Structure 1
Amino acid sequence: MKIETNNPMKELGTAIGVGILAGFAGTVAITISQMIEMQITKRPASTVPADAVSKVLDVKPVRKAKKEQVSQEIHWTYGTAWGIPRGVLALAGVKGWPATLAHFVAIWGAELVMLPSLDLAPPVTEAKPETTAIDGLHHAVYALAAGIAYDAIDSLDK
């Protein structure tokens, strides 16, 4: 019989791993949400992820098709990585709906600060209310899906 002992590195690794899975689930959900919204509003796909990386790293895609591909790759990587803070919240004892709410505030708050600072979007105080509402809805979909996924995976060992 093996006696379980408190292993902080194992707990951290598990929280990060489950967070990555939850972040992937959230990214699937926000992608579907955005695709539905784009069909309804006739909005073209965004290249903001590639534009942000271009500004931060001072690199440029060689052609438009490549920029769209890079935007998708960044979208999936960034969204999946944002699951890690969800895992850290759980590790800190914040779970369930409070963790989902804190995660939502972190991801959407980061965007609301980062994009205007890179001149890729207007400050929220100057943005169209409907654009802000749609963006908030997409991020809520992400946080809910990531939270549900995290909690479901986390409950498997109980």
Structure 2
Amino acid sequence: MFSPPYARGLLAGVAGTVAEAFWSRRQARLLGRAPVFGTTEMARALILKFTARTPSVGLARAGGNAMRWTYGPLWALVWGALPGPCSRPTMRSMAALALLIWGVELVTLPWVGATPPLRAWPAVDILLDLTNASLYALVAGASLTVLTELNGLPDRHRARELKREGHRYE
């Protein structure tokens, strides 16, 4: 069904990104503002930095969507393509992925100028960024597990059939 590991990873990444995007919208409503790491705000800052022009709201939103829908699926695409046990999601590996994503964001986003320096972030935004990374890793990991299991179903059924017929299947 989803034979290549990168295809499973990509689909799992899309699922994680959908969950993260939904949660990001809820965060903005709860805060009454966009968090400093909001994709539209980051796109606006980067466009301004590299073009010296303030982008329109539409361009900033499109840039933010492009960033989210490239960045999110790529994390799980790489995860799904890792060899052997590294690609099998466990609670430990999902937590490690969440911490990796969170750490990368806390360092790189201010460094490239996408967000203000970390010391200027409200404490709640730092915590919310961790919840985003955690939700993404949990949903992507669960999706990767399901897709991997679904991928193995035809092989298991075939093995049972061959065993019933007296063949040795390995």
Q: TM-score band (shorter)?
A: 0.7 to 0.9
Larger CA Rg, structure 1 vs 2 = 2
Identify the residue that residue 74 of structure 2 maps to in structure 1: 81
Shift in CA distance, 119/74, structure 1 to aligned 2, threshold 3 Å = closer
Residues 61 and 67 of structure 1 are in contact (CA less than 8 Å); yes or no, is this contact kept in structure 2? Answer: no
Q: Deviation at 1:34?
A: 0.8
Instruction: Report the secondary structure of 2:85's partner residue.
Output: coil
Conservation of the 8 A alpha-carbon contact between 1:112 and 1:123: no
Per-residue deviation, residues 3-26 of structure 1 (Å, max 9, x unmatched): xxxxxxxxxx82211110010000
Contact 1:26 1:144 in 2 (8 A): yes
Q: Match of 2:110?
A: 116
User: Which TM-score applies when normalising by structure 2?
Assistant: 0.72
Shift of 1:128: 2.6
Counterpart of 2:124?
Answer: 130
Corresponding residue for residue 144 of structure 1: 138
Report Cα offsets for 1:106-135 as digits up to 9, x if no partner.
Answer: 222221111121133345455332111111
Per-residue deviation, residues 122-151 of structure 1 (Å, max 9, x unmatched)? 454553321111111111111100000001
With over 3 angstroms needed to count, the CA separation of the structure-2 counterparts of 1:49 and 1:83, relative to structure 1, is: farther
Could you tell me which residue of structure 2 aligns to residue 102 of structure 1? 96
Structure 1 contact 29–142 (Cα < 8 Å) conserved: yes
The runs of 4+ residues in structure 1 deviating greater than 4 Å are: 59-62, 122-126
Q: Alpha carbon RMSD of aligned pairs, Å?
A: 2.6
The 1-side partners of 2:46 and 2:59 are apart by 13
Q: CA deviation at 1:76?
A: 1.3
Q: Which amino acid aligns with 2:59?
A: K
Out of 33, 38, 42, the residue aligned to residue 32 of structure 2 is 42
Distance 1:77 1:55 in 2: 20
CA offsets, 1:66-91, max 9 Å, x none? 221221122112111111222134x2
Query: How many residues are paired up?
Result: 144
Task: Give per-residue Cα distances to partners, 1:37-96, cap 9 Å, x unaligned.
Answer: 11111113642442475489x45785331221221122112111111222134x241222
Do the aligned residues in 2 keep the contact of 1:52 with 1:115 (CA within 8 Å)?
no
Aligned residue in 2 for 1:4:
none
User: Structure 2 stretches of 5 or more lacking a match?
Assistant: 154-170
CA pair 115-82 structure 1, distance change in 2 beyond 3 A? same
Contact 1:27 1:76 in 2 (8 A): yes
* Unaligned stretches of 5+ residues in structure 1: 1-12
